[in-house]
Amino acid sequence: MLFNSLNFLIFLPVVFILYWFVVNRSLKYQNILLLAASYFFYSCWDWRFLFLLAFSTFLDFYSGLAIHRTDNKRLRKIWLILSVGINLGFLGIFKYYNFFSHSFGEALSQIGINANITSLDIILPVGISFYTFHGLSYVFDIYNKRITPTTNFIEYSLFVSFFPLLVAGPIERATHLLPQMEKPRTFRYAQAVDGLRQILWGIFKKVVIADGCAEYANLIFNNSSDYSGSTLILGAILFTFQIYGDFSGYSDIALGTARLFGFELLKNFNFPYFSRDIAEFWRRWHISLSTWFKDYLYIPLGGSKGGMAMRIRNTFIIFLVSGFWHGANWTFIIWGGLNALFIMPSIIFKTNRNNIDIVAQGRTFPTLYELWQIATTFALTVFAWIFFRASSVGHAWSYITGIFSKDIFKIPFYHPELRASITIIMLIIPFVLVEWMGRETNYAIEKIGFNWKRPLRWSFYIFIVFLIGMYMHTEETEFIYFQF
């Protein structure tokens, strides 16, 4: 079931009504209802993988208890290895088996050995990377004695599979979400209104901006050899907005939906395209994943405590692993590597925490220098996204060489099939302006119109509804991050 589907439009109010009107007197029943709804939500993709989700949940729940109940270091480690090994084993089989087998086969053929390695016809279970990371963080936190495990299996199951975050995050932490599962909930008007507002903005980002950009980005990327350099640049920029609209739109809908049920999820995006350097970009893009890698990989590897060499090594490791987390393809690994390269100057010169505040905070316009910083950071991310979007490394390379070899100064819309892309570009401009206006809040329209009279504020929301109706993509399209 997609957030941008009519089925979800029916599913959400039904669960909402049952939650607040039927089982509202019992926390236990509220959690059971949400768990049942989450399993139903997941089964709409493929019910067979519910068993995998349930097994993974049970494994981590039981491992957590077992680790906590013993002081024997060896036994604790065995349980940790068992949990991590099985979780990563599932991830390895479902997500990475074919990648490793192909890469191994190709490596052998390079040295003259023709190995007949069979690939498996495996369906990737939706959300496996996300719920595996939920479970892992829980077990790591117990092992490191940051938290004590819950003894309530329903609450833990809900923490792993809560439907707004089940298939594409944010990657929650037990320290943040589990206490919310344990506390009785009361309906808060402001929180529920905020939730709906965030859902509205998320839907706009997904079905208008992301899907609108996807139409032309796909056309340009899929036929990149036919287009001029300037059109290829346009394609890369459109993909840059597509992936932002798609993933941050998903996150907004997830956060907004969770708010309707009284939960606050981790913020996943913080206006990343207004970053002044790559380090700031990575503090603002897919925050829950970046912090996950920081806490469970970068710091255990020594973080920045060692010398410069260790910092550089660790930075490369987390970016490469992060790239690989996204997908079993060399394009993602190179994308991660590129980002590591881009961030290196700020690591070496220790300027990576220069821009921890909000750009042009308290001002309407940025300074020229800030604008230059934003533009150069944006250009670097656009360049890296080419690898992320391309179907293979060869495709990415031909795309980049195409940019510099063919008519880079030609008007990019001269192809008849691209002329209508002017509409999406005209929508991107006000979209960026609204995002800029709202950059000091949790999501762009959180405070816009907050002090306006209700008729004016509601008119603004209705206009967003209208823009969705007039410019949305008419077919339901999956979110990009579902494939990860």
Partner 1 sequence: MKKYLINLFYFSCLVLIVYPLIVFSWGKIFPGKYRKNLKYREASTGQLDQRLRDADTTKNIDLLILGSSHAYRGYDPRIFKKEGIKVFNLGSSAQTPIQTEILFNQYLSQFNPKHIIIDVYPALLASNGIESSLDLIANDCLDKNFAAMFLKQKNIIVINAAIYSSINNILKPSKAVKKIASPDKYIVGGFTESYKKYKAKAGKDIKFDVEISDMQMDALVRIINKIKSNNLTYTLVQSPVTKEKYALTKNNVEMDRVISKLGTYYNFNKMLTLTDNYFYDDHHLNQYGVVVFNQRLLETIDIKPLAKYAKN
Which residues lie near partner 1 (CB under 8 A)?
6, 20, 187, 189, 192-193, 196, 419-420, 422-423, 426, 458-459, 461-463, 465-466, 469-472, 474
Q: State how far Cα 412 lies from the chain centre.
A: 30
Q: How far apart are CA 55 and CA 60, in angstroms?
A: 9
Q: What DSSP line would sit under 35-70, residue for residue?
A: HHHHHHHHHHHHGGGHHHHHHHHHHHHHHHHHHHH-
* DSSP assigned state of 266: P
User: Which runs of consecutive H residues, i.e. helices, occur in 92-188?
Assistant: 97-110, 128-143, 153-161, 163-166, 174-182
Q: Which is nearer to partner 1, 76 or 197 (CB)?
A: 197
* CB 475, min distance to partner 1, A: 9
Q: How far is the CB of 204 from partner 1 (least distance, A)?
A: 14
- Which residue, 128 or 424, is less far from partner 1 as judged by CB? 424
Q: How many residues would you count in the chain?
A: 484
Of 177 and 258, the one with the shorter C-beta distance to partner 1 is 258
The smaller minimum CB distance to partner 1, of residues 189 and 349, is found at 189
**Is the CB of 341 or the CB of 472 nearer to partner 1?**
472
Query: How far apart are the two ends of the chain, measured CA to CA in Å?
Result: 16
Residue 244's φ and ψ, nearest 5 degrees, are -65, -50
Minimum gap (Å) between residue 406 Cβ and partner 1: 24
Measured distance CA(23)–CA(30) in Å, rounded:
6
DSSP 254-269: HHHHHHHTT--PPP--
Nearer to partner 1, 212 or 336 (CB): 212
Compute the half-sphere exposure of residue 103: CA atoms within 13 Å on the CB side of its CA: 8
102 is catalytic: no
Cis before 164? omega within 30: no
What is the nearest approach in angstroms of partner 1 to the Cβ of residue 462?
5
Q: How far is CA 162 from CA 41, 174, 188, 194, 420, in A?
A: 10, 13, 20, 19, 40
* Lookup: tokens for 172: 């929650």
Spatial neighbors of 451 by CB under 8 A, at least 6 apart, are none
CA distance 297 to 320: 12
- What's the min distance (Å) between Cβ of 3 and partner 1? 16
Please identify, using beta-carbon distances, which residue of 28 and 419 lies nearer to partner 1. Answer: 419
Identify which of residues 14 and 107 has a Cβ nearer to partner 1 in the complex: 14
Tokens of 26: 């019992």
User: At closest approach, how far in Å is the CB of 6 from partner 1?
Assistant: 6
CB-wise, 89 or 469, nearer to partner 1? 469
The tokens describing 85, both together, are 């090994």
326, 395, 415, 473: the active-site residue? 326
**30 touches 37 (CB < 8 A):** no
Give, to the nearest 10 degrees, the angle between helix 421-437 and helix 211-222: 130
Instruction: Give the max Cα distance, the chain.
Output: 74
**Inter-residue contact 221 to 238 (CB < 8 Å):** no
Q: How deeply is 384 buried, as exposed, middle or buried, from its count of CB atoms within 10 A (0-12, 13-18, 19+)?
A: buried
- Residue 216's H or E segment, with its range, is helix 211-222
Least distance CB 461 / partner 1 (angstroms): 7
Rounded to a whole number of angstroms, the minimum distance from the CB of residue 423 to partner 1 is: 6
CB of 373 to partner 1, least distance (A): 34
Residues belonging to the active site: 326
